[in-house]
């Protein structure tokens, strides 16, 4: 069952219930407000939409047209240099003011177990062209939440869309005791600005999660890195009572363990957000791909829409 609840003139909430599972989506930023089994909500956030307007960390929003970082906030494409906003040191992060996650989306379509949101995004932030974006959230009775993105642009533009949800399978405490497995034989080393430098093997490094490992067992759990999938594109995270399986068709995932999570106002259940309270698995192309022809990436154009799907499945242990 899908229910639409109008909160005010700007924001509505779509609530999908499928069996024992429930997901709530705000039209602000296409934010995943909650994803729960019975009374266990595994998404970090706030009780209402207003705090998301000024929150740090891009919590649970759809990020686009280009998620992650672009070096020196500029890139060259077909002989033209495009200058973006520097909102992360000297770099551009998550598209700056153009970011889809800060915009008010509209509900385009619903079914018994899905909702499609759409956004008209005018040219801004240095990115070429206006965009039409869609995301369809579908929830199945066995706890699989599918995120299907479709992005079009009137001009050629690099694209790298993701969702920035922070998960905590235990519903409280930090996530360092969660056990993580990633089918990633490689990761990207980065410079001080977290711009990729080299693509290297995870063998013998703290980034080797090919076998399940506690998030906090190495580096004190501090991760903000792009890991490169092999033939299988999958993540498995285990908490006390639940397992989260993630699959995607994209070549990489940004593992971010909420190092800088914080809040000016209380989050859900009246508690302030704190570092390491949630982990993010941001499926993606490699960061800075417009400046790196050796990196996989994609572009939209007037006759070339882009589509991708990521699925998060919540499993009761």
CA-based end-to-end distance of the chain: 25
310 conformational bin, left if phi > 0, alpha if psi -120 to 50, beta if neither: beta
Distance of CA 28 to CAs 12, 50, 200, Å? 8, 9, 38
Measured CA to CA, the distance from residue 30 to residue 137 in angstroms comes to 10
Q: Among 131, 164, 178, 238, which one carries the catalytic annotation? A: 164
- Of the CA atoms within 13 Å of residue 31, those in its CB half-sphere come to 30
Cβ neighbours for 313, distance < 8 A, ≥ 6 positions apart: 142, 143, 144, 145, 244, 245, 246, 247
- Closest residue by Cα to residue 185 from 218, 234, 219: 234
- Structural tokens at position 93: 């992060």
- Closest residue by Cα to residue 198 from 207, 188, 208: 188
Phi, psi of 289 (to 5 degrees): -60, -30
Helix (H/G/I), strand (E/B), else coil: 26: strand
Measured CA to CA, the distance from residue 134 to residue 114 in angstroms comes to 13
Establish whether 164 is a catalytic residue. yes
- Structural tokens at position 54: 């000024």
- Structural tokens at position 233: 């594109």
Element (H, E) at 37: strand 32-37
Measured CA to CA, the distance from residue 271 to residue 281 in angstroms comes to 23
Q: Which residues are catalytic?
A: 164, 282
């Amino acid at each position: 069952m899908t229910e639409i609840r109008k909160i005010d003139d700007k924001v509505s909430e779509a609530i999908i219930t499928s069996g024992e599972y429930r997901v709530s989506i705000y039209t602000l930023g296409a934010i995943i407000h909650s994803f729960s089994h019975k009374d266990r909500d595994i998404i970090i956030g706030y009780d209402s939409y207003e705090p998301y307007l000024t929150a740090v960390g891009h919590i649970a929003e759809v990020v686009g047209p280009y998620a992650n970082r672009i070096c020196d906030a500029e890139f060259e494409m077909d002989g033209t240099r495009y200058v973006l906003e520097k909102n992360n040191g000297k770099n551009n992060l998550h598209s700056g003011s153009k970011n889809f996650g800060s915009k008010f989306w509209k509900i385009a379509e619903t079914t018994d177990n899905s909702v499609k949101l759409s956004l008209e995004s005018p040219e801004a932030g240095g990115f070429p062209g206006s965009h039409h974006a869609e995301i369809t959230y579908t929830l199945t009775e066995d706890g699989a939440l599918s995120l299907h993105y479709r992005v079009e642009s009137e001009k050629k533009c690099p694209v790298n869309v993701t969702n920035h949800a922070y998960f905590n399978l235990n519903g409280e405490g930090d996530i360092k005791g969660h056990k993580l497995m990633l089918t990633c034989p490689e990761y990207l080393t980065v410079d001080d600005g977290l711009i990729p430098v080299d693509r290297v093997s995870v063998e013998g490094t703290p980034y080797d999660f090919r076998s399940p490992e506690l998030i906090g067992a190495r580096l004190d759990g501090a991760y903000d890195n792009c890991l490169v999938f092999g033939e299988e594109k999958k993540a498995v995270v285990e908490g006390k009572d639940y397992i989260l399986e993630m699959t995607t068709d994209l070549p990489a995932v940004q593992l971010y363990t909420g190092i800088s999570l914080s809040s000016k106002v209380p989050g859900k259940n009246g508690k302030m957000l704190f570092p390491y309270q949630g982990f993010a698995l941001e499926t993606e192309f490699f960061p800075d791909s417009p400046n790196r022809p050796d990196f996989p990436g994609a572009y939209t154009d007037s006759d070339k829409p882009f589509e991708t799907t990521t699925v998060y499945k919540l499993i009761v242990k």
